[in-house]
Structure 1
């Protein structure tokens, strides 16, 4: 129980603390060294986890060490453009989610939201299948728009404005989209009103864990 509480506290600290620290480094050019460090830390950490879990651990860890040496050699350039790293992380995640939903709309594939719906409500009615496909389209467009807005703000607006959008509005907008879809579903599919939002979250976790 204590371990679970500590884990969730750690996740909450990371989710809240990292955006605050990232935004702080974007507010002033005097934070360039800290900004470069905070910007590159998630990339290095993810690379370390992937390398450690790789079947070719020694090779991957060696490649990671060489990459870190290259980062150290080019640290001054990274300090001057650390905002670009932040943007690449943000827009990269939006594009990954865009492709995750969008590729399931290709002919012959099952829309992602249909897969989630089946995990909770199988078998689905034709109306529910149609709705689930439309929701998949909506999420695909949502992440495309998020990527475009992030890119537009980064290149056309001051860095601090883009930082506020990326660090403080991205997750709330995703949550708002999730809640809006829930209430629209209750209106369009009244027979599904007993379904809770957490059911969709569990469906996502269960579906993601299945071998494909």
Structure 2
């Protein structure tokens, strides 16, 4: 029990602490060294986990060491452009989410939100299936808009302004999207009023964790 509590506290500290630290480094040019370190830390950590789990662990770890050496030699350049690393990470996340929803709208495929709805409210009526497809379109447009707004702010506004949007407004906007969809669904599909917002969140989480 204690280990579970500590794990969730660690996750909460990471989720809250990393955006705060990232924004702090974006506020002032004097934080360039820390900014570069914080910017590449997630990439190095993900690469380390993937290399460790790889069937060719030694080879992949060796390549990671070489990549870290290249970062060391190019550190001065990274210090001057660490904001670009933040933006690329953010764009990668938004584009992956965009493609996750968008590719299911191709003819012959089942819209992603239809899968979610079936997981918590099967069988679906034709009206419900049509609604789920429209929700999939809405989420696709949402992540496209997030990527577009991020790009415009990054290139046209001060880095600190972009940082507020990416670090502090993204999750509230996602939560607002869930809440808005929930109330629209209650209005358009009154027969599904027993479904809760957390049902949709769990369905998305279970789909994301499912082996491909």
Establish whether TM, by shorter chain, passes 0.5: yes
| Residue of structure 2 equivalent to 1:105 | 105
Q: Are residue 150 (structure 1) and residue 150 (structure 2) matched?
A: yes
Change (3 A) 1:34 1:62: same
Change (3 A) 1:210 1:160: closer
Q: For 2:37 and 2:206, locate their aligned partners in 1 and report how far apart those are by CA, in whole Å.
A: 35
Q: The residue matched to 1:202 in structure 2 has which SS?
A: helix
Q: The residue matched to 2:54 in structure 1 has which SS?
A: coil
RMSD between aligned residues: 1.0
Q: For 2:209 and 2:42, locate their aligned partners in 1 and report how far apart those are by CA, in whole Å.
A: 23
1:37-186 matches, within 5 Å, as 37-186=37-186
Change (3 A) 1:210 1:20: closer
Normalized against structure 2, the TM-score is what?
Answer: 0.97
Alpha-carbon displacement from aligned partner over 1:114-163 (angstroms, at most 9, x marks no partner)? 01111011111001100000000000000000000000000000111001
Normalized against structure 1, the TM-score is what?
Answer: 0.97
Q: The residue matched to 2:138 in structure 1 has which SS?
A: helix
Q: How much has 1:56 moved relative to structure 2?
A: 1.5
Q: For 1:169 and 1:96, locate their aligned partners in 2 and report how far apart those are by CA, in whole Å.
A: 19
Q: Are residue 30 (structure 1) and residue 34 (structure 2) matched?
A: no
Give the number of equivalent residue pairs: 212
Q: For 1:36 and 1:75, locate their aligned partners in 2 and report how far apart those are by CA, in whole Å.
A: 8
Q: How much has 1:211 moved relative to structure 2?
A: 4.3
Q: For 1:73 and 1:119, locate their aligned partners in 2 and report how far apart those are by CA, in whole Å.
A: 50
Q: The residue matched to 2:123 in structure 1 has which SS?
A: coil
Q: The residue matched to 1:110 in structure 2 has which SS?
A: coil
Change (3 A) 1:154 1:193: same
